[in-house]
Chain A
Amino acid sequence: MSGVRLESLCKSFGDITAVDNVNLTVADGEFVVLVGPSGCGKTTTLRMLAGLEDCTSGRIFIGERDVTDTHPKDRNIAMVFQSYALYPHKTVAQNLGFALRIAKRPRDEIDRRIQEVAEILDIQDLLDRKPAKLSGGQRQRVAVGRAIIRNPEIFLFDEPLSNLDAKLRTTTRSELIKLHKRLNATMVYVTHDQVEAMTMGDRIVVMEGGLVQQIGTPLEIYDDPDNRFVAGFIGSPAINFLDAQIAVGRSACEARFAGASLKLPKSHPAASRADVVLGVRPEHLLIAPGSGIGVSFQATVETVEHLGAETLVELALDGKALTVRSGRLENLASGQPVEIGVHLENILVFDPGDGQRLRPPNGAEM
């Protein structure tokens, strides 16, 4: 196994820059997830790593080997495609053994490896079937099997779960996590699903507009986003954003919104701006918080969604919708006014222009 290093990787299609100066180091045995909306450049980055797209500029290293100009077949990489890309005219066994056959491995070794992989993925009964006779989940397993049979240096996954139904996706997700632990392999995984990214990755790379927006562990990304895009993309339900006006006093400044006021130290970068955007995760908005809370304001209940263990409440605040995620709440009704509170440390401040996070100089938010 080896790590991966992408240095200043760029890819343009004519005038369109699909990937813009991506720098990323994936450690040996690490599971890194590239996540972002459609068109953000994540799949193009993965395809460049696989050698299926040429780089416009930049270098790609697998271990210490510069593979930027190396043909895909010589990169020792295996990839699981979104469409699984099984060979429809070959049986499952032939699909699994194809790479070994191409590598001219002895017949008995190929058979042994096929059996081993089939056991790992529990597809022993499917070996004689053609892909057309398999379910989506079974095809997905065969595609994974075709990747692991070769013991490649790097595994690449291009949205491999997106064609599965919700239940199967959850099961397969945990199977892939177990497989990663078992193989201790370096894996780079592309998805647009932030839940997959959060649950599977050792680290997440959030991309948008061809740029890497942030790299970090799932909880770092969730708790400490670098910009408004990352804060909005990661998390379900999505983070709430509130527009606030800055008023600077003699010793401190205030961010005012909806009749509430958030005190910020004068050294906070927000003090030099007229407006800011505040971000609060739905679980950090507290209904009827009582005294001692950092900031509180009044809002009106719009809808209440009971999910059993928890309740999602949509609030109206100055014509904007806010989502609250709370423990089970049974006595809320639509149209009811409620007091909402937020602890200061749970409020994120963003520049309204470029969306960058405005952190206080000492690192603490407030």
Chain B
Amino acid sequence: MGGAQARLSNRFMWFCMAPVIVFLIVVSLAPTIVAIVDSLRELSLTVFTKRGAFIGLENYRELLSEDAKFFTAISKTVMFVAVVVPFEFIFGLAIALYINHEFAGRRLLITLIMLPTMIAPVVVGMMWRYLLMPSFGLLTYYLQQMGFLAETTIFSDEFTAFAALMIIDIWEWTPFMMLIMLAGLTAMPQEPIEAAHLDGANAWQVLWHVQLSFLRPLIVFAVMFRAIEASKVFDTIYILTGGGPGNATETIAVFAFRTTFIKWDLGYGAAICLVLAFFSLVVAALFFKVTSRAQER
């Protein structure tokens, strides 16, 4: 009786999980397997010989040993992540600390602050595109009035184009950091903070010695999440610069897109994506290892 019931319960469990498992296989596992297979084949639509032929690790060899554009894209991505994530974290934490108390209109303010994160990235891109248009962009006009961008437009200069993309990403994702930090601050017990005040600590010392220690697991999560997300940034760059001028704003995701859907080299594009996924996994694993060790200490 007991065994029959256990079997029934087991079957019911699989029945409940089946839709999710099928969904994951269709949208995640199957494409990954297809990508792995594709990355081992010659799948350039501009090549007429050997198309579809199995070429082993040739795509990977070429990517990792010969392709200077790949390493440029990697360095651009690293730079992008290294700049935007710390700023998003610092601004997000600062706003969270500032609004971490009850006041009239707090909920409305949080909702307004969250707007940039809630808007679809493509819409964000379009919005900034209009704001920064060379001829009639509102922001361009004001920047020119202030004496900036007199001789050039924002997206025609390598430095300003990349800086603008970073600022837009910071504008878009700081609210996300703010929300995570605010959740942490709200859930934090107040007594250790009060104890620190009584121990003579000022606001900075309380932040450094008490609040940041409590927030550490959340900071790890938020920074890691944002670092992985920022390394995949695509939509806004595609809308605003398309990776240009030249390849000045060509991050790894844009590079993969251009390779796959501009040059139509599907096998090489798959290899780029898989290398990117592998690096993301390694970084995430390292991050977890380091932080869990820090937690244990």
Which of chain B's residues have a CB closer than 8 A to the CB of A89? 213-214, 216
Chain A residues within an 8 Å CB radius of B213: 87-90
**Cα distance A86–B193 in the bound complex, in angstroms:** 10
Would you list 8 pairs from A and B whose C-beta atoms are within 8 A, ordered by A residue?
A: A52-B198, A71-B197, A82-B191, A86-B192, A87-B209, A87-B213, A89-B213, A89-B214
Choose, from A96-104, A194-202, A203-211, A354-362, the stretch at the interface: A96-104
- Whether A72 contacts B197 in the complex (CB less than 8 A), given A88-B213, A98-B209, A102-B205, comes out as yes
Residues 121-149 of A at the B interface (beta carbon under 8 Å): 146
Interface size on B, residues (CB 8 A): 18
Picked from A50, A73, A86, A87, the residue with its CB within 8 Å of the CB of B200 is A73
CB of B198 within 8 A of CB of A87, answer no
Q: Do the beta carbons of B194 and A87 come within 8 Å of each other?
A: no
Does B196 count as interface, using CB distance less than 8 angstroms? Answer: yes
Which residue in chain B gives the minimum CB-CB distance to A83? Answer: B191
Q: A190 → chain B, closest Cβ, in Å? A: 14
The interface residues of chain A, by DSSP majority, are classed as loop
Contact of A79 among B198, B202, B210, B216 (CB under 8 A): B198
Q: Is B246 an interface residue (CB 8 A)?
A: no
- Alpha-carbon distance between A103 and B198 when the two chains are bound, in angstroms: 12
Complex-state Cα separation, A146 to B198, whole angstroms: 11
Task: Say yes or no for B90: interface residue by CB 8 A criterion.
Answer: no
The reply on B201 being an interface residue by CB < 8 A is yes
A73 and B194 in contact (CB under 8 A), knowing A83-B189, A89-B213?
no
B67 adjacent to chain A (CB < 8 Å): no
Q: B216 — nearest CB in chain A belongs to which residue?
A: A89
Residues of B in contact with A (beta carbons under 8 Å apart): 189, 191-192, 194-202, 205, 209-210, 213-214, 216
B199 in contact with A85 (CB, 8 Å): no
Contact A102 B199 (CB under 8 A): yes
Is the Cβ of B191 less than 8 Å from the Cβ of A85? yes
State A150–B216 Cα separation when bound (angstroms): 28
| Contact pattern, A 61-88, Cβ under 8 Å of B = 1, otherwise 0 | 0000000000111010111011111111
Please encode chain A, from 195 to 231, with 1 for each CB lying within 8 Å of some chain B CB and 0 for all others: 0000000000000000000000000000000000000
Kindly state the separation between the CA atoms of A82 and B200 in the bound complex, as whole angstroms.
Answer: 20
Q: Is the CB of A73 within 8 A of B192?
A: no
Contact in complex: A52, B194 (CB < 8 Å): yes
Q: Given A87-B210, A102-B201, A102-B205, A81 and B191 touching (CB < 8 A)?
A: yes
Let me know if B194 and A81 touch, CB within 8 A.
yes
Which residues of the other chain, A, contact B216 by a CB distance below 8 angstroms?
A: 89
Kindly identify, within residues 284 to 298 of chain A, every residue whose CB is under 8 Å from any CB belonging to chain B.
none
Task: Say whether A73 contacts B202, CB under 8 Å.
Answer: yes
Max chain A CB contacts within 10 Å: which of B200, B202, B209, B214?
A: B200
B244 to chain A, nearest CB (A): 47
| Complex alpha-carbon distance, A50 and B198, angstroms | 8
Write the chain A residue with the least CB distance to B189: A83
User: Does A103 lie within 8 Å of B189, measured CB to CB?
Assistant: no
Q: CA of A71 to CA of B198 in the docked complex: distance in angstroms? A: 9
Residue in chain B with minimal CB distance to A78? B198
Question: Using Cβ atoms and an 8 Å threshold, which residues of chain A touch B197?
Answer: 51-52, 71-73
**How distant is the Cα of A75 from the Cα of B198 in the complex, in angstroms?**
8
A residues in contact with B196, CB < 8 Å:
87, 98
Sorted nearest first, the 3 A-B pairs with minimum C-beta distance are: A85-B191, A99-B199, A89-B213
B171 CB to closest chain A CB (Å) equals: 33
Provide the A150-193 mask, 1 if CB < 8 A to any CB of B, else 0.
Answer: 10000000000000000000000000000000000000000000
Within the complex, the shortest CB–CB distance from B14 to chain A, in Å, comes to 39
Partner of A77, one of B191, B198, B205, B214: B198
Q: With A and B bound together, what is the CA distance between A141 and B213 in angstroms?
A: 23
CB distance from A351 to the nearest CB of B (A): 41
Q: Is the CB of B200 within 8 A of A103?
A: yes
CA distance A150 to B195 in the complex (A): 13
Complex-state Cα separation, A86 to B196, whole angstroms: 9
- For B194, B198, B202, B209, which residue has the most chain A Cβ atoms within 10 angstroms? B198
Contacts of B209 in A (CB 8 A): 87, 90, 98
Cβ-closest chain B residue relative to A52: B194
Docked complex Cα distance between A150 and B200 (Å)? 10
Q: Mark A34-72, 1 if CB is under 8 A from B, else 0.
A: 000000000000000011100000000000000000011
> B192 touches which one: A50, A51, A85 (CB < 8 A)?
A85
Residue of B at shortest CB range from A76?
B200
**What chain A residues lie within 8 Å of B194 (beta carbons)?**
50, 52, 72, 79, 81, 85
Measured between beta carbons, the chain B residues less than 8 angstroms from A103 are 200
CB proximity of A299 to chain B, nearest CB, Å: 49
Chain B: CB-nearest residue to A99: B199
Cα distance A73–B201 in the bound complex, in angstroms = 7
Residues of B close to A71: CB separation below 8 A: 197
The closest CB in chain B to the CB of A87 belongs to: B192
What's the Cα separation between A71 and B199 when bound, in Å?
11
Give the residues in chain B near A146, CB-CB below 8 Å. Answer: 195, 199
